[in-house]
Amino acid sequence: MVKVVAGAQWGDEGKGKTIDILAAKAQVVVRTQGGNNAGHTVIHDGNTYKLHLIPSGILYPDTLCLIGYGVVVDPKVILEEIDALENTGIKTDNLKIDKRAHVIMPYHLILDELQEKYRGGSDIGTTKKGIGPCYTDKAERSGIRICDLIDEKVFAAKTAEALKLKNEIITKVYGGTALKLDDILNEYGKYAKRIAKYVDDTSVLAYDAIKAGKEVLFEGAQGTLLDIDVGTYPYVTSSHPITGGVCIGAGIGPTLIDSCIGVAKSYTTRVGKGPFPTELFDEVGDRIRELGKEYGTTTGRPRRCGWLDAVILRLAVRVNGLTEICLNKLDTLTGIPKLKICVAYKFRGTTIENFPATLEELADCEPIYIELDGWDEDISKCKSRAELPENAKKYLAKIEELIDCKISMVGIGPARDQNIE
């Protein structure tokens, strides 16, 4: 079976936990887009891991973990992550990084910071990990790839060429400090020596595994509404977190995929700037943030919290071709007397059921809610959907009805066994 796991909202839906559960049966786990803007929390054998670049399957000793060419790789970060894992006894020999993946360079980090500052009040609220500037260079065809990094001569030539223009921009446009070529070559030269042994053609490895009938899992990063085309542009990331992005970022064709699992929370969160129709600014929002520990895994920023939005989930079902939903954090809603679900938007005198395309349209949208009774019982130890309180069952059934997609897994706590299948 070949399964794709994608975020259905604005990221942080609990993809790491879901992947960890599904990876128990997988032989190969593949990351295909984004970079270390992602933060995937996995509680595995009682230890908490916060993974940014390495696929969550790494916690299983025999699982092959691939970083496809759609990912942008910060070599410093991946080496730190490798060291941190090795230090806790997790082997990383099964990790492979694609030759064609683009490298996050020091000037990408600086430009991310400077561009955000330059945007002033209209900043995007990026993670400042150099993601946007790296994808910009890729599209502009001046990027530096892993295959360049591990070839000393090529890397020196390409970096020298790129740095000329970058330094002009950093100093003359933004008034920043120029970077020194030798510093970059020294630092990245050290990384290259260590990274070389992980480099491979991951498209071939993924294809061969699929052809051999192995269980292959694709681990999405970010979420549908952060997709550069689908999402709330420009408040998005620079890659394609939707399931279709997997084909491009991993180098496998769409006919090879068997199922597409959307991961969602039982409510909605967003970190960074941009519109969020069901955002809560009251004590319910605060309660969800505290009980759900809604603070960014990568940046530590408090996450904005709000009611579940079925308009967003319908969009996710459509653009990802979702075959099922994994709904996490149902436990966080326990004890809230009345739960709201946004079913449609009131828009300039009409009712719309599809997520609008522009920020201007979105600004004129007001959520239309239905209200359901909550539950007080502790659900964190339930073993089946049948064991859930009646009102929790009704909440799940209503979501399935509203989005026309079945919920196949329900998260009732952060641990891997706190999951109802």
Interacting residue ranges for Mg ion, rule: CB under 5 A: 12, 39, 297
CB atoms within 10 A of CB 348: 8
Output 40 or 340, the one with its CB closest to ligand GDP.
40
Residue 37 CB, shortest distance to ligand IMO, in Å, is 4
Residue 17 binds which entry of Mg ion, ligand IMO, ligand GDP, none, CB below 5-8 Å type-dependent: ligand GDP
Q: Does 272 bind ligand GDP (CB under 6 A)?
A: no
Residue 14 binds which entry of ligand GDP, Mg ion, ligand IMO, none, CB below 5-8 Å type-dependent: ligand GDP
Task: Name the residue with the smallest CB distance to ligand GDP.
Answer: 411
- Asked if 220 contacts 33 with a C-beta cutoff of 8 angstroms, the reply is yes
Task: Give the range of 36-44, 364-372, 386-394, 400-408 binding ligand GDP by CB under 6 A.
Answer: 36-44
Cα radius of gyration rounded to whole Å, the chain = 22
Output 50 or 164, the one with its CB closest to Mg ion.
50
Strand ranges for 39-160 from DSSP E: 40-44, 47-51, 64-67, 72-73, 95-98, 102-103
12 as an active site residue: the answer is: yes
Q: Does 268 bind ligand GDP (CB under 6 A)?
A: no
Type of residue numbered 116? E
User: Site map for ligand GDP, 329-368, x if CB under 6 A?
Assistant: x-xx------------------------------------
- Asked if 268 contacts 306 with a C-beta cutoff of 8 angstroms, the reply is yes
Output 222 or 278, the one with its CB closest to ligand GDP.
222
- Asked if 392 contacts 376 with a C-beta cutoff of 8 angstroms, the reply is no
Residue 58 CB, shortest distance to ligand IMO, in Å, is 16
Residue 137 CB, shortest distance to Mg ion, in Å, is 25
Output 233 or 369, the one with its CB closest to ligand IMO.
233
The reply to whether omega before 133 is within 30° of 0 (cis) is no
Residue 32 CB, shortest distance to ligand IMO, in Å, is 12
**What torsion do the CA atoms of 406, 410, 416, 418 make, to the nearest 10 degrees?**
-150
Type of residue numbered 410? V
Phi, psi for 159 (deg, rounded to 5): -70, -40
Tell me which residue has tokens 């400077």.
114
Q: Does 297 bind ligand GDP (CB under 6 A)?
A: yes
Cα(98)–Cα(102) distance, integer angstroms: 9
- Which among 231, 319, 239 is positioned nearest to 276, based on CA atoms? 231
331 as an active site residue: the answer is: no
- Which helix (DSSP H) or strand (DSSP E) does residue 243 occupy? helix 243-250
First vs last Cα of the chain: how many Å apart? Answer: 17
Residue 372 CB, shortest distance to ligand GDP, in Å, is 19
Q: Does 17 bind ligand GDP (CB under 6 A)?
A: yes
**What torsion do the CA atoms of 416, 405, 39, 127 make, to the nearest 10 degrees?**
-160
- Which residues have C-beta within 8 Å of that of residue 44, sequence separation ≥ 6? 20, 59, 416
Out of 78, 288, 396, 412, name the contact with ligand GDP by CB under 6 A: 412
Q: Does 16 bind ligand GDP (CB under 6 A)?
A: yes
Type of residue numbered 197? K
Output 4 or 205, the one with its CB closest to Mg ion.
4
Out of 39, 68, 75, 133, name the contact with ligand GDP by CB under 6 A: 39
- Which helix (DSSP H) or strand (DSSP E) does residue 218 occupy? strand 216-219
Residue 373 CB, shortest distance to ligand IMO, in Å, is 31
Tokens for 129? 């990990």
Residue 155 CB, shortest distance to ligand GDP, in Å, is 32
Given the rule CB under 6 A, which residues bind ligand IMO?
7, 10-12, 37-40, 124-127, 129, 131-132, 221-223, 226, 237-238, 271-272, 297
Strand ranges for 221-358 from DSSP E: 259-265, 268-270, 304-306, 308-309, 324-328, 338-347, 350-352
Task: Give the range of 11-19, 85-93, 99-107, 235-243 binding ligand GDP by CB under 6 A.
Answer: 11-19
Among the options 20, 40, 52, 137, which is catalytic?
A: 40
Task: Give the range of 34-42, 126-134, 179-187, 337-345 binding ligand GDP by CB under 6 A.
Answer: 34-42
- Which among 222, 236, 224 is positioned nearest to 274, based on CA atoms? 236
Residue 420 binds which entry of ligand IMO, Mg ion, ligand GDP, none, CB below 5-8 Å type-dependent: none
Question: Measured at the alpha carbon of residue 203, what is the angle toward residues 200 and 205, in degrees to the nearest 5?
Answer: 65
Residue 312 CB, shortest distance to ligand IMO, in Å, is 14
Q: Which residues bind ligand GDP (CB under 6 A)?
A: 7, 11-17, 39-41, 43, 293, 297, 328-329, 331-332, 411-414
What residues act catalytically? 12, 40
